[in-house]
Amino acid sequence: MSVGEWLILGYFIILHFVYIGLNFVAYASITRSRLRRFGALTAVDPAFMPPVTLIVPAYNEEGGIVASVKSILQLTYPTFEVVVVNDGSTDGTLDRLHEAFALAEYGEAYRDRVPTAPVRRFMISRTYPAVRVVDKENGGKADAVNAAVNVARYPLFCTIDADSVLQRDSIQRVVQPFLDDGSVIASGGTIRVINESVIREGFLEQLAMPSKMLVRFQVVEYLRAFLFGRLGWSAFNGLLVLSGAFGMFRKETVIAAGGFRTDTLGEDMEMVVRLHRIMREAKRKYRVAYIPDPIVFTEAPENLRTLGRQRIRWQRGLGESLRMNRGLAFRGFPGWVSYPFNLLFEMYGSFVEVLGYLITAVAFATGTISLSAFFAFLLVSFGLGLAFSASAVVLEELSFHVYPRRSDLLALMGAAVLENFGYRQANAWWRLIGVIRHVRGAEASWGVMTRRGIASSGDAYTRSGESPTGVHT
């Protein structure tokens, strides 16, 4: 084997060695979590649960914004407010809110602590006093969240995508880390794929196994990313991303950091990386927590074109987050391990992956690589990837058992095998395109995401899934 081939093989060995370690840590963490899960949630008196602000940014969501807000109002949490931000919608989003919640304008002592696009007016529901609406000029999702943070009344806030589906006890779960540890500044939970499932009144009634193989691949991918990817990093306080569809933050910490940036495709990840950097630079004790319980459900892309655009954007968002927070490097565990791993393997590793596939295929076809070396590459690249996917499925079965039918388990195992033949290679290619566009500084936009629709038929902020960093095994 040439030096280049050895380097590529070494890359795959190091990558999978890290994932093996994360897998063991995740298994131990889930075991502890399941032992204390029910007792922890029932032991806290509701009177001691901190009040929270739930933020719903909305752009052209007339088809589902009312159902989304009403489903949030049914969450089982003692004290919360809902702040909906109409971010310059051009459809009837604001009209639907007026009709459903009897909105009335009021005078808000607005403090522009985080600069945003101009706010036009503030409204409150006469039938649901916990619901307020901020009507502002269009500035994007991050700008809308910042406007809501400016008016939030409570010390913790949670961002919720307008067509995400939450469990009724999801707020209790994502707040739990703040009760367990006063140094927690942010927490997030697991995202699950909900395509073809039964949704009634904004809540999940029955989780279905998607019939399309492309969506099943993503189910396995999400299990792998969240159940041992994020859980493993969280154990060392090295988690660099929380789900933008459902993340809880300390309001004052975010304001002190300057709010969410509007010049990146990955404002959720950028905020978490920035918080790590700021806290490390200030040498302050802190923790970014992850909750393994499946608490949020979202729709995944069902065609290659939409999926490809999504993955390219995720990769660009990753690159922007790391570039904007270079100061995190070599500061604590996140700076010495998480940051360089994400930079070398999650970001620029796509070059090595694509190059490895090409070199190995050409070398085997021309007879310049031995059969033993060829199979060694396949073992490391495909064999371990399959093992990680299968272990994630087994971990799901042993812990949360979301898919109770044996046929569903077999379907996931089948997807874990088949994803190695085309899907993983396509993901590597999309990631490479994302890296190239990031390096070139090409103009970026979210574009239109094609969805069947969970609660909305509008062109919403949701991205048809959340970036499961650490899933490229």
pLDDT single digits (tens) 353-398: 888 788 778 877 887 777 777 777 677 778 777 888 888 888 887 7
Ramachandran angles phi, psi of 328, nearest 5°: -70, -25
**411-424 mean pLDDT:** 92
Q: Quick one: pLDDT at residue 329?
A: 96
Instruction: Tell whether the model's pLDDT for residue 40 goes beyond 60.
Output: no
Q: Kindly report, residue by residue over 176-225, the tens digit of the pLDDT.
A: 999 999 999 999 988 889 999 988 877 888 889 999 999 999 999 998 88
Lowest-pLDDT range, 70-74, 142-146, 358-362? 358-362
- Number of Cβ within 10 Å of residue 368's Cβ equals 13
Q: How far is CA 156 from CA 107, 165, 251, 366, in A?
A: 23, 20, 5, 61
Please report how many Cα atoms fall inside a 13 Å half-sphere around the Cα of residue 292, on the Cβ side: 32
Q: Quick one: pLDDT at residue 460?
A: 40
Q: How far is CA 16 from CA 11, 36, 153, 230, 361, in A?
A: 9, 30, 45, 15, 21
Mean of pLDDT over the chain:
86
Ramachandran angles phi, psi of 63, nearest 5°: -75, -25
In 171-215, the DSSP E strands lie at 184-193, 198-200, 203-206
- Report for 48-52, 107-111, 251-255: range of highest mean pLDDT: 251-255
Both tokens of 381, joined, read 């690249």
pLDDT, greater one: 374 or 101: 101
Q: Quick one: pLDDT at residue 459?
A: 39
Instruction: Tell whether the model's pLDDT for residue 416 goes beyond 90.
Output: yes
- Report for 29-33, 123-127, 367-371: range of highest mean pLDDT: 123-127
222 burial type by CB count under 10 A (0-12 exposed, 13-18 middle, 19+ buried)? buried
Q: Quick one: pLDDT at residue 200?
A: 80
pLDDT, greater one: 56 or 110: 56
Question: Using CA atoms, how far apart are residues 420 and 424, in angstroms rounded to an integer?
Answer: 6
- Report for 106-110, 161-165, 441-445: range of highest mean pLDDT: 106-110
Question: Using CA atoms, how far apart are residues 230 and 29, in angstroms rounded to an integer?
Answer: 11
Instruction: Tell whether the model's pLDDT for residue 257 goes beyond 60.
Output: yes
Domain ranges of the chain: 1-43+161-473
Question: Using CA atoms, how far apart are residues 188 and 408, in angstroms rounded to an integer?
Answer: 27
Q: Quick one: pLDDT at residue 464?
A: 38
Query: Quick check: 293 and 242 in contact, CB under 8 A?
Result: no
Q: Quick one: pLDDT at residue 201?
A: 73
